Amino acid sequence: MFGNSERPKVQRFFTAGESKAFIKAAESIGFVHQGSLGPTKGEAYRDNDRTSANDPVLANTVWESGLNKLFSDIKIRGKVAVGLNPNIRFYRYKAGQRFGRHIDESVDLGDGKRTHYTLLIYLSGDSKAKTKNDPNGSKDSSSEPLVGGETVFYGSRNGVVAEVAPTEGMALLHIHGDKCMLHEARNVTKGFGQNQIGELDRRASLMFNLSSSSALFLTKLTTHCPSLMVVLA
């Protein structure tokens, strides 16, 4: 499907300016703390802050920015990818917060549409963490570097399969539902930024349709950055 990886990463999917604009927009909406009963009660440990927005236009804009081409030749059980779940979620991790091992469930959106992948875009993190040899990497970040907050995937016998460090603007795709790998957001040990934000990410879910994708999105947006910033402002 994606060669040897089912967790493709795209560096600088969002620019530093776009990432900061999303953080500002999410904070203007307002975060609510999310907790859980914990593993002893059958729930993954969870300690983070969350907000969300139902925004079909934003979801379509991100989809048309290149994800539609990535999934153009991919089918799951005869279904083709048609877009992103319009329920856009923002998560904030401050120092000491984390999200324990869990799986992402598929969501039935009706009309034959069901989500199969999670799109995770890091809005903060060390822009040089994974691009030390990249001369085009961001050099203008004045924020304090993030320590911790890695997204870790586990295979059989709880062995670590992949460990992804937060990098500002980076996108990460991974399958969810029945084939979702157990994963966690590790403890943030040191936050950064004026608002003490540790890790802040944006999640959306790829949804698949039984038929052609042409009927789902009637309008294609070609402008990426302005639309993203205006919709959530």
Q: Per-residue pLDDT tens for 82-132?
A: 888 888 889 888 888 899 999 998 888 888 888 888 888 888 887 664 433
**Contact criterion met (CB below 8 Å) for 71 and 81:** yes
pLDDT above 90: residue 40: no
Q: How far apart are CA 36 and CA 80, in angstroms?
A: 35
The answer to whether residue 192 is domain-embedded is yes
Write the CA distances from 156 to 6, 127, 159, 161, integer angstroms: 16, 31, 6, 9
Instruction: Residue 190: give its domain's CATH number.
Output: 2.60.120.620
The answer to whether residue 2 is domain-embedded is no
Polymer length of the chain: 233
The answer to whether residue 4 is domain-embedded is no
The answer to whether residue 3 is domain-embedded is no
Q: How many domains does the chain have?
A: 1
**Contact criterion met (CB below 8 Å) for 215 and 113:** no
Confidence of residue 157 (pLDDT cuts 50, 70, 90): confident
Q: Quick one: pLDDT at residue 74? A: 80
The answer to whether residue 13 is domain-embedded is yes
Please give the residue range of the domain that contains residue 165: 9-232
Q: Quick one: pLDDT at residue 219? A: 24
Q: Is the pTM of this model over 0.85?
A: no
